[in-house]
Amino acid sequence: MKCMVTGVSRGIGGALATELVRRGHTVWGLSRTVPVGAQEGQFRHVVCDVAEGESRDDAAEQMDAAGFVPDAVFLNAAIEYEESHASLEWHPMQAVWRTNVEGALYWVSHWMDGAPRRPVQFIAMSSLFAQWPDPDCPAYAASKAALSMAMRALRLRYSHDPVAFKEVCLGPVHTSINPRFAGGGAAPRGVATPQEVARFLAKTVLPSHRFRYYYPWTVGAVARFGAWMPDWWFERVTRPLRR
């Protein structure tokens, strides 16, 4: 299978590219910097900042020129930042939105509008913050909520089309996007590793026909049965895993 993965320089994207190649898939990875791993076998990398229109267009032209049309598109690239509660800066919020929302939906538009062949599926990385807010980065929660709603709307719009629009709701993952884990180290108990998420995506999400997934299972339990949970309670319970 041909797969496109955004944000492959590190974290979930890097682990996913490695896992997909290991399983025999062909991978085109996009990221702002060249990844250290996953450079052997059926892997090709394109330098692309998904938050910048010109950079996205250039990457799309390279894939088009090579005749590459993915069967699966993993919309993984995302950023977050630790914001001081003494301020509410616009530019970091704008950067989060451009990367997490525009940087994902651009590729849906590109491959659904005028491409020689449509992908079989789009897989968007969502979060528990699509349902509950993050007071440390309001734009991150808003971006994940917007991306999840877009995938739901696309499922309705293309309900009679064979293209699948999937979303994966993730709990805390030990990646540098979380300011607490920027320094590396081992994943604390209850926090998933990028490799674990990558295996779940490749083994469960990619071949399945469902449209919504939760990882780890505790995330599914919270999302399904914790809708009554007040925002302040969710923030207090999850803070040790986030900051």
- Confirm if 2 and 68 have CB atoms less than 8 A apart: yes
Domain of residue 200: give its range.
2-242
106 token code pair: 């651009």
- Confirm if 217 and 197 have CB atoms less than 8 A apart: no
First to last CA, the chain: 38
Q: Quick one: pLDDT at residue 243?
A: 55
Nearest-5° Cα angle at 120, 15 to 200: 30
Beta strands in 32-148 (DSSP E): 43-47, 72-75, 121-127
HSE of 87, CA atoms in CB hemisphere, 13 A: 9
pLDDT, one tens digit for every residue, the chain (243 residues): 999 999 999 899 999 999 999 999 999 999 998 876 555 668 999 999 999 999 999 999 999 999 999 999 999 999 887 667 777 888 989 999 999 999 999 999 999 997 778 999 999 999 988 988 888 888 999 999 999 999 999 999 999 999 999 999 998 888 877 666 665 667 777 788 999 999 999 999 999 999 999 998 888 787 777 778 888 888 887 777 665
CA distance 148 to 169: 9
Q: Quick one: pLDDT at residue 222?
A: 79
Peptide bond into 216 cis (omega under 30): yes
DSSP bridge pairs for 164: 121
Report how many domains make up the chain. 1
H or E segment at 58?
helix 53-65
CATH of the domain at 86: 3.40.50.720
Q: What is the pTM of this model?
A: 0.91
Q: Quick one: pLDDT at residue 213?
A: 95
